[in-house]
Structure formats: C-alpha cells, structure tokens
C-alpha cells in the first residue's frame, strides 16, 4: 500500500488534474500509508484545524483540502502546489479549476 500511496500522491502533484479522480477519504487513506508525505492541518485562518494537508518531505510539494475559506468563499476546494507547476485550486464538488487571480 505504501508504494501505491506514494505513486498516487506524486502523480497528483505532477498532474494536478488527477485530483479529480479521488475523494477526500481516499486521499486521507493514502496519507496514512505514505512515507514521502507528512500529514497535517491548517494552523490559521477560517479553516483552522479543519483542513487536511499533505506536505512533501523536503520538496516543497503540497496537496491540501479546505472546507472553506473566508477570502476564497465558502466552497470546499483542493490546492495543489509544486515548485515545478506552481499552485492550482479545484472546486471540490464541481471539479473545475478555480481562478483566484484578482485583477481588480
């Protein structure tokens, strides 16, 4: 299970669209078995203690789920970050890319 968990989580960071294949409970299960990611939660903000985070050990990668966020709205979303591809966010329910670039 460890190999599969690492492979799936790494595939999400390499291709963020892959997050659409999984539900939150599945990602949490992979988080239990991985040895390449650290499990955590938000320590501040509107989702303090409610969010779910996987931080890549020493590589700057991040997969996180937030139930809501004051400045992003009250919609649950995934956030996937890597130094290679940057940061993208996906609406958890609609599975569409959310654009948070404010041009105003």
What tens digit of pLDDT does each residue of 3-60 get?
Answer: 899 999 999 999 998 998 999 999 999 999 999 999 988 766 666 667 899 999 989 9
Q: Which two tokens stand for residue 93?
A: 């329910």
* pLDDT 10s digits, 62-96: 999 988 765 556 778 899 999 888 998 888 766 55
* Run of H or E including 36: none
Write the DSSP symbol of residue 17.
Answer: G
pTM of the shown model:
0.81
Q: Could you tell me which residues come within 8 angstroms of residue 81 by beta carbon, excluding any fewer than 6 positions away?
A: 60, 61, 62, 87, 88
């Amino acid at each position: 299970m460890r190999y599969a968990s690492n492979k799936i989580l790494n595939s999400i960071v390499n291709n963020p669209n892959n997050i659409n294949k999984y539900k939150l409970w599945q990602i949490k299960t992979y988080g239990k078995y991985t040895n390449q990611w650290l499990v955590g939660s938000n320590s501040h903000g509107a989702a303090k203690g409610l969010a779910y985070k996987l931080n890549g050990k020493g590589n700057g990668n991040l997969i996180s789920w937030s139930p809501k966020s004051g400045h992003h709205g009250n919609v649950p979303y995934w956030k996937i970050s890597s130094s290679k591809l940057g940061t993208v966010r996906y609406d958890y329910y609609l599975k569409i890319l959310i654009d948070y670039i404010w041009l105003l």
